[in-house]
Amino acid sequence: MWEMIEKGLAHNGLITAFALVGVVTWVSVLLSRHLTFGRVHSSAIAIVIGLILAWIGGTISGGQKGLADLALFSGVGLMGGAMLRDFAIVATAFEVQATEARKAGMIGAVSLLLGTVLPFIVGAAVAWAFGYRDAVSITTIGAGAVTYIVGPVTGAAIGASSDVVALSIATGLIKAILVMVFTPMSARFLGLDNPRSAMVFGGLAGTVSGVTAGLAATDRRLVPYGALTATFHTGLGCLMGPSILYFCVRGLVG
Amino acid sequence: MIIYGVALLAICTLAGVILGDLLGALLGVQSNVGGVGIAMILLICARLWTHRSGGMSKECELGVGFWGAMYIPVVVAMAAQQNVVTALHGGPVALIAAVGSVLLCGVTIAAISRTNKGAPLPALESEIAPAAAPAVAPAGGR
């Protein structure tokens, strides 16, 4: 009986992955609502669960691809692979209204640029301090400090190893969680009470899930403004990470 | 037709990836340069362009919207296939890099929100920010 079920799941890998991620999301929604009382956004919890599953899968199989190394969950590799990931990220750009983007104006552009370069410098410096000396690893970890999307996209583009990519995702993830949890508490310090500062916040804080969750818990009306610049943030990071920033790092470390 | 939206998204993604590869070859690196970013810009342009001629049908937008909504689930699946076991051996790199960048960005947001105008001014203040960061750091600590 179990063999039949296992065969059915393994032969429909991608479908199994959809079901698995659905269950993970459902569990994380429950955890978000009852354990953190909505303070930590369910998507952040879902991603943490994903990382934990990757750790479990990696420990059981001894492989390099986390849960995807278990035959039963090989579909996770397809669902979370570069192809569908890039496809879904590009689709999010559809929600950006270019006319509204113009309202953000100069200050939005400046905050977007700073929001990419400043975290990158911090991340790259920390990577250097911890003994990473090759340009590819330093760039990937630095890009991870921008967002947990920019990290793996940059890493895949310049050929970083999987463990460095995982480290950059972990960096971006911790950042997103910090943004979510501490935004409502520090709203006054950040001056988060008008659309303009929300746009600055979205550009600088970056990660869409962190920004939208943080703003939602601060003042719901600010969410679209923060999300607007935050959506550009990932695109800008994906554009700059494997290009300008990588070249700068390569120029510095040789 | 939903497939029009999915196809538009596919064409933009492919064009972005190919242009990114091309850009990489032109710049002399063996990699894709900003392919996803280019694809996003193409999709925004495609949307603006169709707006001029009456806009897309609801179903067509659904074809793109569905994949946009799948973004977080795909990221969850992506997280589930990372080499976490090895990453954990990397030590506190992730934690320090994340905390550092959040603090620096928080100080910069506060600076820009307060000055509110003059593009180069916030940039200057943010460079002083790292030194000042520990003093104002526990912004959420109240």
Tokens of B56: 């897309």
Confidence class of residue A48 from pLDDT cuts 50, 70 and 90?
A: confident
**So what's the pLDDT on residue B141?**
37
- ipTM (interface predicted TM): 0.72
**So what's the pLDDT on residue A16?**
93
Q: How many CB atoms lie under 10 A from the CB of residue B103?
A: 21
The parent domain of residue A103 ranges over 98-253
Residue A195 forms contact with B (CB below 8 Å): no
Same domain for A49 and A110:
no
What are the Cα distances from residue B135, in Å, to A37, A39, A56, B99, B139?
30, 26, 40, 14, 10
Same domain for A118 and A178:
yes
Q: Kindly state the average pLDDT of the residues B5-13.
A: 93
Confidence class of residue A17 from pLDDT cuts 50, 70 and 90?
A: very high
Rounded to whole angstroms, the Cα distance separating B1 from B16 reads 23
> CB-CB: which of A85, A91, A190 is closest to B106?
A190
What are the Cα distances from residue A236, in Å, to A52, A117, B45, B77?
29, 10, 16, 23
Chain B interface, best mutation among A204, A231, A244, by max B CB count within 10 A: A204
Same domain for A120 and A239:
yes
- The closest of A201, A98, A167 to B89, measured between CA atoms, is A167
Rounded to whole angstroms, the Cα distance separating A117 from B42 reads 24
Q: Kindly state the average pLDDT of the residues B19-32.
A: 75
Burial of A60 (0-12, 13-18, 19+ CB in 10 A): exposed
pLDDT 10s digits, A123-169:
999 999 988 889 999 999 999 998 888 888 888 888 888 888 888 88
Task: Give the range with max mean pLDDT: A61-65, A85-89, A104-108, B14-18.
Answer: B14-18
pLDDT 10s digits, A213-253:
677 767 767 776 777 777 677 778 888 888 889 889 888 88
Instruction: Report the mean per-residue pLDDT for chain A.
Output: 83
Is A220 within the bounds of a domain?
yes
Determine whether the interchain pair B83/A64 forms a contact, defined as Cβ–Cβ distance below 8 Å.
yes
The parent domain of residue B136 ranges over 93-141
What are the Cα distances from residue A209, in Å, to A139, A174, A213, B25, B49?
23, 12, 6, 34, 29
Q: Which of A49, A80, A111 is the last residue of a domain?
A: A80
The larger pLDDT score, comparing residue A212 to residue B135, is at A212
Amino acid at A48: V
**So what's the pLDDT on residue A217?**
67
- The closest of A178, A191, A175, A193 to A237, measured between CA atoms, is A175
Is A90 within the bounds of a domain?
no
Confidence class of residue B123 from pLDDT cuts 50, 70 and 90?
A: very low
Is B88 within the bounds of a domain?
no
Q: Residue with structure tokens 């640029």?
A: A113
Is it the case that residue A179 has pLDDT exceeding 70? yes
Same domain for B17 and B78:
yes
The larger pLDDT score, comparing residue B12 to residue A179, is at B12
- Exposure string of A114-143, with b = 16+ CB inside 10 Å and e = fewer, is bbbbbbbbbbbbbbbebebebbbbbbbbbb
Is B87 within the bounds of a domain?
no
- The closest of A169, A172, A126 to A145, measured between CA atoms, is A172
The larger pLDDT score, comparing residue A130 to residue A63, is at A130
Is B67 within the bounds of a domain?
yes
Same domain for B14 and B45:
yes
**So what's the pLDDT on residue A232?**
73
Confidence class of residue B135 from pLDDT cuts 50, 70 and 90?
A: very low
Chain B residues whose beta carbon lies within 8 Å of the beta carbon of residue A213: none
The larger pLDDT score, comparing residue B92 to residue B84, is at B92
Task: Decide if B76 contacts A62 (C-beta within 8 A).
Answer: no
Tokens of A103: 């309202």
Determine whether the interchain pair A65/B79 forms a contact, defined as Cβ–Cβ distance below 8 Å.
no
Q: What is the CA radius of gyration of chain B?
A: 21
Is A93 within the bounds of a domain?
no
**So what's the pLDDT on residue A124?**
92
Q: Which of A48, A80, A112 is the last residue of a domain?
A: A80
Chain A residues whose beta carbon lies within 8 Å of the beta carbon of residue B83: 54, 58, 64-66, 162-163, 165-166
Chain B residues whose beta carbon lies within 8 Å of the beta carbon of residue A172: 98
pLDDT 10s digits, B90-116:
568 888 888 898 888 888 888 887 776
Chain B residues whose beta carbon lies within 8 Å of the beta carbon of residue A43: 72, 75-76
Same domain for A177 and A69:
no
Is it the case that residue A91 has pLDDT exceeding 80? yes
Residue A86 forms contact with B (CB below 8 Å): yes
Is B64 within the bounds of a domain?
yes
Q: How far is B54 from chain A (nearest CA, A)?
A: 16
Q: Which of B82, B111, B133 is the last residue of a domain?
A: B82
Determine whether the interchain pair B139/A185 forms a contact, defined as Cβ–Cβ distance below 8 Å.
yes
Chain B residues whose beta carbon lies within 8 Å of the beta carbon of residue A251: none
State the total domains in chain A.
2
State the total domains in chain B.
2
Confidence class of residue A188 from pLDDT cuts 50, 70 and 90?
A: confident
Q: Residue with structure tokens 């700073």?
A: A114
Q: Which residues lie closer than 8 Å to B11 by C-beta, 6 or more apart?
A: none
Instruction: Report the mean per-residue pLDDT for chain B.
Output: 74
Is it the case that residue B124 has pLDDT exceeding 50? no
Rounded to whole angstroms, the Cα distance separating A121 from A139 reads 9
